Each structure stands twice: as C-alpha cells, then as structure tokens.
Amino acid sequence: MYSLASGATVVVGGFLARANIFPQSDLGREISHGIVAFGGGVLVAAVAFVLAPKGIELLSLPLLTGVFFLGVVCFLFLDRFIGRHGGRAAQLMAMLMDFIPEAIALGAIFSTDRETGLLLALLIGMQNLPEAYNSFGDLLASGFSSNRSLLILVPFSLAGMAAAVFGYSVLAGHDQLVASLMLFSAGAILYLVFQDIAPMAKLKNHWTPAVGATLGFMLGMIAEKLLSY
C-alpha cells in the first residue's frame, strides 16, 4: 500500500504536466527549466543518500567499482541507441532507475524496520513528482501524444508496488544483492544526469535551474536526516 501511494505521484506529476499549468512565456519556461533542474538535484541526492551508501558499506572495492561502472556503461549504450532512433527519454529512464531499486529496497527494509520504510516511501513519493513531470515532457518531445504519454506513466506507478512486494518477499535478508542493484542504478543515474538532464535544465542568464537543482538536493538531505532519526 505504501509503495502504491509513493508510485501514485508518478501519475500526479504526469497530470500536472499534461495540464500545462505554466504559461508559454519567459516565466513559464524559467519555471519549467527549474523543475527539470529540481528533478536532477533530487536524483543526485538519491544517489548520494539512498543508492550509493549501502553499496559502499557492504561491497568489496572491486565489486563496488565494477557494478557502478557497469551501470554507467549499460546506460551509455542505451542512451546512444535511443538518441540514434530519435528518442528523448533521459528523465524517464532516470526515474525508472531511481524508483524501481528504491522500491525493492523499500520492500526489503519493511520486513525489518517499518518506521524507516515509511520515511523511505515518503521520500520516493516526493522524488517521483518532479521526475514524472519532466518525463512527460520527454515523451512529448519523442513524438507521443499527451494522452499516450500519460498512459505510459501509469505502469511505472504500478511497477513500484510490484518491485516492493518482490523486495519484501524475495530479497529481504539479501543485503549485498540489494546493494549491488542500487549501486548499478546509481551509476546509470549519474550518467543520465550529466549527459542529458543537466544540459536540458540550463537556461542562459537565469538563476532558476541552479536554485532548483540545489533545492532538489536539499530535499534529499532533509529526507536523509529524517531517516537517520
């Protein structure tokens, strides 16, 4: 239920983007670029505070670097493949690589620590909202209609619930395997952030994207502080 609630914000973010709540003006473009940057900051925070720490703690140095770099290489080739075929799905891929491993970890954590699981579910839901908003724009830019773009996001929201159930029932107690999956995703996300998302966020002579990125990272710090209590 908690993973379903955190995944529901994917659809909420898609609806907000579909409603086009920001006008096609200089201010609207600035806000939109700020949201893209905010999503990038949240993703970097997810890597720093959620995805990477367990791998650093539990995995040997060769396995840690190997799994992380494997995530980078896999998404380098996937990103190039999508680019060659005219697609633009960086934020969507980043959201998937962020949401699914975190949902698996959420399920595994819930089996032993309910309070931490609740806070992690809240963090995931807060992350998904700006990421889904930006993913909707990616899908439109790739040629999908607004209705189809929204429909594509619906399975993503449900996938988190399936991933959490899998983590709870299968991977609970397999800490190294969960940490490896999260570290693979960390490498993939960092590649996507600096290859695709950060360049999309840049807006010449405007400060909104930079502030949005730092606010997104600050959100991750706040959630990490709450998780540490």
The range of the structural domain enclosing residue 99 comes to 2-16+25-228
Distances (CA, A) of 94 to 41, 110, 146, 170, 204: 12, 24, 20, 24, 24
Q: What pLDDT does residue 68 have?
A: 92
Tokens of 42: 């949240």
Contacts of 6 (CB under 8 A, 6+ apart): 103, 106, 121, 122, 124, 125, 128, 160
Number of folded domains in the chain?
1
Residue 101: exposure state from Cβ atoms within 10 A (0-12, 13-18, ≥19): buried
Q: What pLDDT does residue 119 have?
A: 72
Does pTM top 0.95 for this prediction?
A: no
The one-letter code for the residue type at 119 is L
CB 47 within 8 A of CB 189: yes
Distances (CA, A) of 17 to 7, 11, 61, 169: 16, 10, 42, 35
Q: What is the pLDDT along the chain (229 residues), one digit of tens a residue?
A: 888 888 888 888 888 888 775 555 666 667 777 777 777 787 788 788 877 888 888 889 999 999 999 988 987 887 777 667 555 566 677 777 777 877 888 888 787 777 767 777 877 787 788 778 878 877 887 778 888 888 888 888 888 888 888 888 888 778 888 888 888 888 888 887 777 666 666 666 667 777 777 887 887 778 777 766 6
Tokens of 100: 């699914």
The alpha carbon torsion through 122, 218, 102, 186 (nearest 10 deg) reads 170
Q: What pLDDT does residue 28 have?
A: 64
Q: What is the CA radius of gyration of the chain?
A: 17
Q: How far apart are CA 9 and CA 157, in angstroms?
A: 7
Looking up tokens 């994207």 gives 209
